[in-house]
Amino acid sequence: MPNLKPLFVFLALVFGPINSAMSENWPQWRGPRGDGTSGEQVVPVRWDAETGENIVWKAELPGKGHSSPIVWDDRIFVTTCVEDDQQRALICLDTQTGRQLWRTDVLKSPLETVHNLNSHASGTPATDGGLIYVPFLQIDGKTIPAPNVGAARDVTPGRIILTAIDFKGEQRWQVDVGAFISAHGFCSCPILYANLVIINGDHDGDSYLVALDRLTGDEVWRTRREQGIRSYVTPIVRTINGRDQLVLSGSGHVASFDPMTGNMIWKVEGPTEQYVASMVFDGERFIMAAGFPTHHVMAIKPDGVGDVTKSHVAWHVDKYVRCYVPSPVLVGKNLFVADDRGTASCFASTDGTRLWQNRLSGSFNASLVATDQVAYFLSGDGVMSVVSPTKEFAVVAENKLGEACDASPAISNGQIYIRGEKHLFRIGSKGQPLPDNAE
């Protein structure tokens, strides 16, 4: 059993005045850096839905979905699917009260076939503070035999539809990005870079990466992926030696692209076929922790060109873990990895040394988030284990939400926002002031 004894060094984290200069928006999948990290210094580590401890509010959400909430100043945006109406929608809520400010119905379409761990609203939107970019899948109801599956079954092919909506809930543009076929359903999360919105179209067909102009939706570039294999990875962008790289796993390899042009910079073949988890970067290495049918944790040196499979793999672990869906997170040079089955591992990002491995509550679908002091593991049964980045396994707290959870959390302005099966929860301190730049 985990050691639940409070650690003295973390007592000050429970609450305290927050420096608004340190507060951050959480504008897209996995936050402002796309890697699950928060730069805020005071974030809650303890709460209890049964007693109400540190639960500021919970707001009932219509429909169902596994997409994460995103936060911009005093607004929260979350997507949902109202299955009875076949309606995909974007909802805007007030951060202070949880009150719904508006709902915009984005797309009406028959329900696509999905894996039992997926939903019809799994793609997390992104915002630049002016527009919200919302991804859904549109189908016409026809079915085809599922490609790339072990057991024969029919699935619904469709089209990725990306829609830009302003902060008043009005649609600005809507674009058909391209075809998408997968026996597991749809989940792609757009990211923002310069004047572009970029989305991954890996699927069991002619796969692609696409960049659109954020203001108009016009296509700027499209890059064909090497293999037609479903994957659900959201890219991250980092600057390496003065050059920006867009990096993701999927389509049977790990690859880096120029985010302004879509041209490939380098690639590492394999190490497996399918990927879900997004990658992280420790300042020297890009690290993936994912894979099916085999499972891997791998670090790649980012300064290569072309096929660097034999030259730029810094380290590679293919045992100890069975990670597939949850994305890892870094706290300093400590790499935290969640197995889908409910096991937590910590590796040294410098050389892949396994520091520890222990069982936590439940199983994991949500990706990990972290501050520079703790990592948060959210299990499917709604228990958040807060883990210390020490060389030995140490749990700061186990917090029960009382509701099933498949969406990854968001951290903003000293608060944690968690989407449960039926509600959105704000965890933190009541009356928390808005950031200085909020209207």
What CATH number is associated with residue 193? Answer: 2.130.10.10
As a whole number, mean pLDDT of residues 164-191 equals: 97
Region 144-158: mean pLDDT is 93
Q: pLDDT at position 275, please?
A: 95
pLDDT digits (tens, 9 = 90+) for 192-205: 999 999 999 999 99
What are 251-268's pLDDT values in tens digits? 999 999 999 999 999 999
Which residue range is the domain that position 157 belongs to? 8-427
- What are φ and ψ of residue 275, in 5° steps? -140, 150
Distance CA 180, CA 109 (A): 15
Q: DSSP strand E in 225-372: where?
A: 236-240, 243-250, 253-257, 264-269, 280-281, 286-290, 296-300, 306-307, 313-317, 329-331, 334-338, 343-348, 354-359, 369-370
Residue 14 CB coordination number (10 Å): 18
Q: Are 198 and 246 in contact (CB under 8 A)?
A: yes
The answer to the question of residue 97 being in a domain is: yes
On the question of pLDDT at 15 being above 70, the answer is: no
Give me the mean pLDDT over the 387-399 stretch: 94
pLDDT band (50, 70, 90) for residue 29: very high
Any domain includes 435: no
C-alpha 226, offset from chain centre? 24
Share of the chain above pLDDT 90, in %: 87
Tell whether the model's pLDDT for residue 17 goes beyond 60: no
- Check whether 142 has a pLDDT greater than 90: yes
Return the number of other C-beta atoms located less than 10 Å from residue 368's C-beta: 29
| Angstrom distances, CA of residue 136 to CA of 92, 276, 432 | 17, 17, 33
416-426 burial code (b ≥16 CB/10 A, e <16)? bbbbbbebbbb
Per-residue confidence band for 235, with pLDDT thresholds at 50, 70 and 90: very high
Lookup result for tokens 């997507």: 79
For residue 7, the model assigns a pLDDT of: 32
Give the pLDDT confidence of 93-111 residue by residue, as tens digits.
Answer: 999 999 999 999 999 999 9
Give me the pLDDT at residue 341, please.
87
Read off the pLDDT of residues 120-137 as tens digits, 9 standing for 90 and up: 999 999 999 999 999 999
**In this predicted model, what pLDDT tens digit does every residue of 263-295 receive, in sequence order?**
999 999 999 999 999 999 999 999 999 899 999
Q: What's the CA gap between 33 and 158, in Å, rounded?
A: 30
More confident residue, 13 or 416: 416
- The pTM assigned to this predicted structure is 0.92
pLDDT band at 13 (very low <50, low <70, confident <90, very high): very low
Residue 434 is assigned to a structural domain of this protein: no
Number of domains in the chain: 1
- Does a structural domain hold residue 70? yes
Tell me what pLDDT residue 431 has: 53
Q: Which residue bears the tokens 């859904």? A: 136
Average pLDDT estimate for 215-223: 98
pLDDT at 21 over 90: no
Residue 391 has a pLDDT of 87
For the segment 406-412, the average pLDDT, to the nearest whole number, is 97
| Cα-based angle 58, 59, 63 (whole degrees, multiple of 5) | 135
Q: Which residues contact 149 (CB under 8 A, 6 or more apart)?
A: 183
User: How much is the mean pLDDT over the chain?
Assistant: 92
Residue 436 pLDDT > 80: no
- Residue 338 pLDDT level (bands cut at 50, 70, 90): very high
* Pairwise pLDDT comparison (367 vs 436), residue with the higher score: 367
How far is 208 from 257, CA to CA, in rounded Å?
12
What CA–CA distance (Å, rounded) separates 231 from 48?
35
Report the pLDDT value the prediction gives residue 16, as an integer from 0 to 100: 33
pLDDT at 320: 84
> Is the model's pLDDT at 435 over the cut of 80?
no
Q: What is residue 1's predicted lDDT score, i.e. its pLDDT?
A: 40
Structural domain contains residue 106:
yes
- Give the 3-state secondary structure of residue 354: strand
In a domain, 1, yes or no: no
- Region of residue 259 (left: phi > 0; alpha: psi -120 to 50; beta: else): alpha
Residue 2 has pLDDT above 50, yes or no: no
